[in-house]
Amino acid sequence: MKKAVVLVSGGLDSATVLALAKEEGYTTYALSFDYGQRHRAELQAAKMIAKAFNAAEHHVVQFSLQHFQGCALTDENTDVPDYQGDGDIPVTYVPARNTIFLSFAMGWAEVLGAQTIMIGASSVDYSGYPDCRPEYFDAFQQMANLATKAGVEGDPLKIVAPLMHLSKAETIQAGIAAGVDYTLTVSCYQADEQGRACGRCDSCVLRKKGFEEAGVVDPTRYVKC
C-alpha cells in the first residue's frame, strides 16, 4: 500500500492534486492548515474535497501567523490588492508558509510510513512566490531526508508537485479528467463566509483565465457588486 500526505488548501490546485493522487493508487492523507488566514472559507472547502475523494484521514492543523504584520492574507490592516501581474512578489506572500506546511507534512508522513508528500504548487500560472519554485522543493526534499529517521535509514521521502509545469488551464483539464468538481473549491484570497470570490485578486484572475483557456465554464460563485 503506497501512502501520500497531500496538502489540501481547499483551492483548485490542491483539489486536483488530491484527485491525481487517488488516480495513481495512493491511499491519501489530507492535511490542511488554519493559520489565521482571512479566507477561512477554504477550510470548509478542504473538508468537502477530502471527503469527496475518500481521504483515509483529514487533519486541520491550527496555529497563527497573524503576528506577521504586512501580509494581506493574515493582517486585517493590509488590503488584498487587485491582480497586478507585474512580476513583483505581492503582499499576499506569507513568509515561510510552504516551509511550515511541508514541515508538518514531513512529520506526519514519517509517522504514517508514507514516502510521498504531494502539493499543488505551480511555477507557470502563479503569483511569483519564492516557495513555489522547483528548486525550493528540491532543497526541501534534500533537507527532509537529512532530518528524518526514515531518510537517514534509507527510506527517502519524495516531495511531488505534479502541477509544477502545468498552466492553470492544463491543471483544470487534468482535474476534470480525474473527476474534480470545481464547484467545491475556494481559491479567492478574500472569499466571504459563504465561499464567494471577489473576482479581482491574483488567485481569482488566474483561476478565471484558466477556465477560459481550458474552454470550461467557470463554476466559481462571485460576490455580486
pLDDT in tens, 151-168: 999 999 999 999 999 999
Neighbours of 70 (CB within 10 A): 11
Amino acid letter, 72: A
Query: Is the full-model pTM beyond 0.85?
Result: yes
Strands, sheet with 27-34, edge to edge from the N-terminal-most edge strand: 57-62, 27-34, 3-7, 116-118, 158-160
pLDDT of residue 225: 52
C-alpha cell at 97: 508558509
Q: Are 58 and 47 in contact (CB under 8 A)?
A: yes
pLDDT of residue 37: 93
Q: Are 157 and 148 in contact (CB under 8 A)?
A: yes
pLDDT of residue 70: 81
pLDDT of residue 86: 65
Helical ranges in the chain per DSSP H:
12-23, 41-52, 97-112, 134-147, 149-152, 168-177, 202-214
pLDDT of residue 27: 98
pLDDT of residue 92: 87
Q: Are 89 and 48 in contact (CB under 8 A)?
A: no
pLDDT beneath 70, residues of the chain: 85-86, 225
Neighbours of 154 (CB within 10 A): 7
Cα-based distances in Å from 47 to 27, 149, 204: 17, 31, 21
